């Protein structure tokens, strides 16, 4: 078994995939506790779709202006971040009490998907790149993309370390937070900004499908295993990291897609956590 693991991660590209996956799994697992408890699961996929539309917008603009653009051009990241910021503004504000928040998320997802398709139709290279973002292949991640995500992850981690109390209070007891003078709209927008920043960089590393799954499954696993909210965060980080190595090993040994293998391992962890919860009552 040990020899098999050593063989799996002997190649440089597998080592990069393992490192990138663990970084993405740790950060998405942590943020996933908020995502699940705040009932904003589909915000993750909506922000990812908007980031993808931003990449398509960058390729479309390059086509219109008549210059060639590489897949890893900084302009694609600028496009992804710009549309992500639009999503943050759209999802963090409560526009009216008569329209449910989920409807706003649905509108954002649908419009971003449609806009992305329209823009991709005029850029063949953009279509290929955006499709890669959607389904992803963590085995192709570059050292540069890992460093870029690591820098973004460090910033997000710093913000959440400094303001953990504010995020927890405003997220799970906004009425009391308002009564005590907390600027709930500001903290809500800051949370969405850290979530959007994570997604915009993470989908370049792992693809939309894997990132969305890592924002949901580890958080659910952690909340099934512990009733204490503060304990849920380290458990979710662990539940986000462990499936990466196991999934990549299974992918290598059985010739399955890497992202799908990681997701299925994470799902098995969630089922085991659910079983443990049932046994404990």
Q: What is the pLDDT of residues 128-154, one digit of tens each?
A: 656 666 666 788 888 988 999 999 999
* Average pLDDT score, the chain: 84
Q: How far is residue 45's CA from residue 131's CA, in Å, rounded to a whole number?
A: 14
* Average pLDDT over every residue of 78-103: 76
Neighbours of 98 (CB within 10 A): 6
pLDDT value, residue 261? 94
Q: Output the CA torsion sign for 29, 34, 39, 41.
A: negative
Q: How far is residue 251's CA from residue 11's CA, in Å, rounded to a whole number?
A: 14
Q: Which of 47-51, 98-102, 250-254, 271-275 has the lowest mean pLDDT?
A: 98-102
Q: Output the CA torsion sign for 234, 218, 258, 79.
A: negative
pLDDT value, residue 223? 93
pLDDT value, residue 2? 46
188 close to 92: Cβ distance less than 8 angstroms: yes
In the chain the domains, ranked by start, together with CATH numbers, are: 2-280 (1.10.3470.10)
Residue 89 vs residue 65, higher pLDDT: 89
């Amino acid at each position: 078994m040990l020899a098999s693991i050593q063989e799996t991660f002997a190649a440089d590209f597998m080592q990069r995939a393992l490192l990138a996956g663990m970084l993405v799994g740790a950060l998405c697992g942590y943020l996933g506790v908020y995502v699940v408890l705040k009932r904003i699961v589909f915000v993750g996929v909506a922000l990812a779709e908007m980031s993808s539309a931003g990449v398509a917008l960058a390729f479309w603009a390059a086509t219109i202006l008549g210059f060639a653009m590489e897949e890893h051009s900084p302009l694609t990241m600028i496009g992804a971040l710009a549309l992500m910021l639009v999503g943050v503004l759209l999802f963090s504000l409560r526009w009216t009490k008569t329209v449910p928040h989920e409807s706003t998320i649905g509108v954002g997802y649908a419009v971003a998907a449609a806009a992305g398709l329209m823009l991709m139709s005029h850029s063949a290279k953009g279509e290929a790149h955006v499709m890669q973002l959607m389904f992803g292949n963590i085995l192709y991640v570059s050292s540069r993309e890992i460093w870029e995500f690591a820098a973004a992850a460090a910033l997000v981690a710093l913000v959440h370390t400094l303001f953990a109390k504010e995020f927890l209070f405003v997220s799970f007891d906004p009425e009391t937070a308002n009564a005590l003078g907390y600027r709930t709209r500001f903290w809500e927008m800051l949370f969405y900004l850290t979530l959007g920043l994570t997604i915009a960089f993470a989908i370049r590393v792992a693809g939309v499908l894997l990132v969305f799954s890592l924002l949901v499954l580890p958080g659910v696993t952690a909340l099934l295993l512990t009733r204490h909210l503060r304990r849920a965060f380290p458990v979710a980080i662990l539940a986000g990291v462990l499936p990466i190595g196991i999934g990549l090993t299974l992918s290598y040994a059985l010739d399955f897609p890497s992202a799908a293998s990681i997701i299925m391992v994470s799902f098995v962890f969630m089922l085991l956590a659910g079983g443990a919860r049932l046994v404990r009552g």
